Chain A
Amino acid sequence: EAGVAQSPRYKIIEKRQSVAFWCNPISGHATLYWYQQILGQGPKLLIQFQNNGVVDDSQLPKDRFSAERLKGVDSTLKIQPAKLEDSAVYLCASSLESGGQYFGPGTRLTVT
């Protein structure tokens, strides 16, 4: 069974630029999550999708972050414009309903 796929693996951008991350969850997983993990901290949930719909985006900085999940499968997370404090690893995870989450390898973002 293929795991959660993410791309790119690494990205370096300057502040005020925009960036997008892509995630393909495990086949059949209805729930998809985006997390931000800053060095030395645990993952922080940014947004959670159930199929196409958003069930939690309370910690998503909506003035600069956006996410979508078209057709209930793939998802993209965008940051525009980026700030220095957005430097982190962005993790995508998926699960069957409310089960344990399976994570992708993450995208390491550096904002200079």
Chain B
Amino acid sequence: QKEVEQDPGPLSVPEGAIVSLNCTYSNSAFQYFMWYRQYSRKGPELLMYTYSSGNKEDGRFTAQVDKSSKYISLFIRDSQPSDSATYLCASHTGGFKTIFGAGTRLFVKA
């Protein structure tokens, strides 16, 4: 079992839709949770960085962590074609050995 799992997609949505991206993890010691966006042939770009359970909002993006079910979510409101990318979730216990999911490919159609 991988420590962080994501549905690889692809996920295709129309412009303006609310997008929900999800990950599950197995290591109950994970305390820090991140979402990255990666465009083709680019390095990952940090979108959200959260600690423990709860919600964090930044513009059109909301990250949600439920430690009781080991579930991580990223919501994108009013999705745009420019949001088309691969979204990676990642976790670590506190500064060491970040584990990434394989990524979910998202396509937002104009």
Contact = CB atoms under 8 A, between A and B. Distances in A.
Interface of A: 4, 31, 33, 40-45, 48, 55-56, 58, 91, 93, 97-106, 108
Given A45-B97, A48-B96, A56-B97, A40 B102 contact: yes
B90 interface: yes
Interface residues of B, number: 26
Contacts of A99: 49
B49 to A, nearest CB: 4
A41 B8 CA distance: 9
A105 B43 CA distance: 4
B60 interface: no
Interface of B: 4, 6, 8, 32, 34, 36, 41-46, 49, 88, 90, 92, 94-103
A103 B97 CA distance: 15
B46 A100 contact: yes
Contact of B98 (A45, A106, A108): A45
A29 B81 CA distance: 33
